[in-house]
């Protein structure tokens, strides 16, 4: 049986590809389990600095697997929601950068998975939506909460209650995605766009990610204090000294992550 999530490495970038193209990469429990293993391995890897999650075929993730969900009871549905939310929480809380490479449909759980990543780079053929209301339910992997924080509550409300699907350009316009890339050679273009991140101080990238994510849920005064603490803490690292010495010496920094 083929892996439900395949792996490729590109000099510090780990690409995990959800591999159920015949089912448009719909998320079932087995796929969630393999995604969880991928994320755990990436989190503990000393080799990989950036994780890209993408999909095989013409879909990123077209939603959760309705065949598996249709007969769920309340307790099963609660457990399934918690599994998805736990995976998404791990993506946003780890100390390394996670990028959604949305190559096609990102609907329901797929849109939620993408929103849990730090950056979303979309193919010009990508489509986004939270169509759960068409099935008589609501998003269960964090969609009502992350979408409203990203695009604002009114736009999120409209997208969720109408179940509308939007294209990549509209997703870019409302701030859901960071960048739209050509569909041809999408993964290669995405890898190239991420190369500059690999040249940055990894501890600084981690600190920036955590400051932004944690600060969103804090009052501004406390969030600014968090930023100050994380800024100052980096002055105890070798990377800070190397980065600033390299700037003064007019050379490229060689960061160690220490």
Options 34, 76, 124, 132, the catalytic residue: 132
**Phi and psi for 201 in degrees, rounded to 5?**
-65, 120
Q: How many domains does the chain have?
A: 2
Same domain, 222 and 191: no
Q: What is the mean pLDDT of residues 30-41?
A: 96
Q: How many CA within 13 A on the CB side of residue 135? A: 17
On whether the CB atoms of residues 48 and 9 are closer than 8 A, the answer is yes
Q: What is the mean pLDDT of residues 137-144?
A: 96
Nearest to 150 by CA among 179, 180, 177: 177
Q: Could you tell me the pLDDT band of residue 1, with boundaries at 50, 70 and 90?
A: low
C-alpha 53/C-alpha 172 separation (Å) is: 19
In a domain, 258, yes or no: no
Options 86, 112, 170, 242, the catalytic residue: 112
Examine the residue annotation and report whether 184 is marked as an active-site residue of this protein: no
> Residue 236: which CATH number?
1.10.12.10
Examine the residue annotation and report whether 221 is marked as an active-site residue of this protein: no
By residue range, what is the domain housing residue 106? 5-198
Nearest to 88 by CA among 145, 128, 49: 145
Same domain, 192 and 76: yes
In a domain, 36, yes or no: yes
Could you report the per-residue pLDDT of 195-204, keeping only the tens digit for each? 999 999 999 9
Same domain, 177 and 230: no
Could you report the per-residue pLDDT of 209-224, keeping only the tens digit for each? 999 999 998 999 999 9
């Amino acid at each position: 049986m083929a892996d439900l999530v395949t792996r490729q490495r590109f000099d510090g970038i780990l690409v995990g590809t959800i591999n159920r193209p015949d089912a448009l990469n719909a998320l079932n429990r087995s796929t969630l389990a393999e995604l969880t293993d991928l994320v755990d391995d990436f989190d503990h890897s000393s080799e990989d600095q950036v994780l890209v999650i993408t999909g095989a075929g013409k879909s990123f993730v077209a939603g959760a697997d309705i065949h598996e969900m249709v007969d769920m009871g309340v307790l099963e549905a609660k457990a399934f929601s918690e599994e998805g939310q736990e995976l998404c929480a791990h993506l946003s809380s780890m100390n390394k950068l996670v990028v959604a490479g949305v190559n096609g449909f990102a609907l329901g759980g797929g849109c939620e998975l993408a929103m849990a990543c730090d950056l979303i780079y979309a193919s010009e053929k990508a489509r986004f939506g939270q169509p759960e209301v068409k099935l008589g339910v609501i998003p269960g992997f964090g969609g009502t909460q992350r979408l409203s924080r990203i695009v604002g509550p009114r736009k999120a409300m409209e997208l969720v209650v109408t179940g509308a699907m939007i294209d990549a350009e509209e997703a870019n316009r409302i701030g859901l995605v960071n960048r739209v890339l050509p569909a041809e050679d999408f993964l290669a273009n995405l890898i190239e766009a991420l190369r500059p991140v690999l040249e940055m101080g990894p501890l600084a990238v981690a600190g920036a990610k955590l400051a932004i994510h944690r600060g969103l849920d804090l009052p501004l005064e406390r969030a600014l204090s968090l930023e100050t603490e994380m800024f100052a803490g980096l002055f105890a690292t070798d990377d800070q000294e190397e980065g600033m010495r390299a700037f003064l010496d007019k050379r490229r920094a060689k960061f160690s992550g220490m």
